[in-house]
A and B are shown apart, each in its own frame.
Chain A
Amino acid sequence: MNGPHDLGGQMGFGPVAPEKDEPYFHAAWEKRALGVTLTAGAMGAWNIDESRHARECLHPADYYASSYYEIWIKALETLLKRHNFVTANDLAAGDAVDLAATPKRVLKAENVPAVLAKGGPCDRPMDEPAVFAVGQRVRTKNFHPIGHTRLPRYARGKEGVIDAVRDGFVFPDSNAPGQGENPQRVYTVVFTAAELWGEGADPALTVSIDAWESYLEPA
């Protein structure tokens, strides 16, 4: 979707503000926000693509006015309601009022180190050979789906070169709405700044994205 999250090339946000000796968290609630998000995700009711899409679906005014962990929490409430773990009554009361769906699992403290160390690999073996080869010129598709996609707007309809052929990976565009993993091969595609940004672009700049096979066609 052409949501507020798709930031590449947007203007007007001002300078980057690096902080010296930045702490990991700027308030105690941010620690709980990280932990609640990860433990709730560990119930296994939604995947990372669905959770990314829930964040992207915040109203743009809300997205830009929210800090990152605020975005996480707002999206988490949406996911918890969608999957019947939390109701509007619960949230209004600030307490458990209604019954919840049964989770696939509950992450216990003693299992956290193993779960974090394992992660969630999303590469998948591919039987079919790669369609594109390193060095080949390709063009990204120009599409504007209302659902989730990982092809950023600034890199749509652009001609680039295959820089690397990757493994098969879960396809976010179908995985986010629960339509299956449908893995596809991923390619690193590199573009000149002139192709992406046109007039006045930095001649010494190149930018790459990682693109699923169906985002690409031969140039």
Chain B
Amino acid sequence: MSHDHDHHHHDNELEPMAARVRALETILTRKGLIDPAAIDVIVDTYETKVGPRNGARVVAKAWSDREYADWLKRDATAAIASLGYTGRQGEHMQAVFNTDETHNLVVCTLCSCYPWSVLGLPPVWYKAPPYRSRAVIDPRGVLEEFGLSLPKDKNIRVWDSTAELRYLVVPQRPSGSDGWSEDKLADLVTRDSMIGTGLAREAA
């Protein structure tokens, strides 16, 4: 468990938000409205069970299995569910495939819509104003901040998740990965490559 701190927040009982959340949990628990053990299970689910490894398996299978890739293109919700990844914030899925011509990038300018069932909880930057404000107007500049420079003539398609569809980017398969197993391929698939703020790792 990480206890890294960013510059705003301290994991300290004197911190006002810590006290505020603890008070709320206490009030709701004493009134019998919530079960604090349920909170433990929710946290454990998103810390240890549901994360970008799910999405990486979807991508690796799409890279290895043309029929699966076609299914993923046609009906991502069903194709992803077939691997056991379903549920909250993944009820309605669409996979978008990067090509030589077009790079896809996903954002939610209005809140923080994100495909939890395949990527887990969104990172802080995805939910914060700099990314949400600029991804739709200056995506090339945003990508530079992730260390990704795309050629000027490469098309960028930004998907703003304004409804209940959740988007999964399928990055391009790295060259030199021919014949690799799905497990080995999945190791090349980063979370950022499935948001569009990165590419898959190079095959070493």
Contacts and interface: CB of A to CB of B under 8 A. Distances in A.
A162 interface: no
A116 B17 contact: no
B162 A85 contact: no
B83 interface: no
Interface in A130-189: 150-152, 154-155, 164, 166-167, 169-170, 186, 188
Given A112-B42, A118-B87, A151 B164 contact: no
B161 interface: yes
A119 B164 contact: no
Q: Which of B19, B34, B86, B88 has most A Cβ within 10 Å?
A: B34
Interface residues of B, number: 88
A129 interface: no
Contacts of A25: 2, 43, 47
B117 to A, nearest CB: 7
A126 interface: no
Interface string A121-132: 111000000000
B179 interface: no
B121 interface: yes
B164 A122 contact: yes
Contacts of B172: none
B162 A150 contact: yes
Given A9-B136, A16-B145, A108-B35, A26 B123 contact: no
Query: Chain A contact residues (Cβ within 8 angstroms of B): what range?
Result: 35 or more
B136 A18 contact: no
B17 A211 contact: no
A208 B136 CA distance: 9
Contacts of A119: 86-91, 117
A116 B88 contact: yes
B28 A85 contact: yes
A77 interface: yes
A133 to B, nearest CB: 18
B162 A108 contact: no
A120 B88 contact: yes
Q: Which of B35, B37, B120 has most A Cβ within 10 Å?
A: B35
Interface in A12-62: 13-19, 22-36, 38-40, 42-43, 52, 55
A127 to B, nearest CB: 20
A206 B15 contact: no
Nearest to B86: A117
Interface stretch (B57-65, B104-112, B181-189): B104-112
A117 B135 CA distance: 30
B163 A32 contact: no
Nearest to B19: A94
A211 B158 CA distance: 15
Given A29-B21, A77-B24, A204-B153, A209 B160 contact: yes
B158 A205 contact: yes
B30 A35 contact: no
B66 interface: no
Given A31-B39, A34-B42, A118-B86, 13 more contacts: A13-B128, A18-B192, A26-B124, A29-B21, A30-B9, A32-B21, A68-B127, A91-B23, A96-B26, A96-B31, A166-B165, A205-B155, A207-B160
Interface of A: 5-11, 13-19, 22-36, 38-40, 42-43, 52, 55, 64, 67-70, 73, 76-77, 80, 85-86, 90-91, 94-96, 100, 103, 106-109, 111-113, 116-123, 150-152, 154-155, 164, 166-167, 169-170, 186, 188, 190, 193, 196-197, 202, 204-212
27 contacts: A7-B110, A7-B132, A13-B134, A17-B128, A18-B125, A18-B146, A24-B120, A28-B11, A36-B24, A36-B28, A38-B42, A40-B33, A43-B34, A67-B9, A85-B33, A96-B31, A106-B32, A106-B34, A116-B42, A117-B88, A118-B88, A119-B86, A119-B91, A150-B110, A167-B92, A169-B164, A207-B136
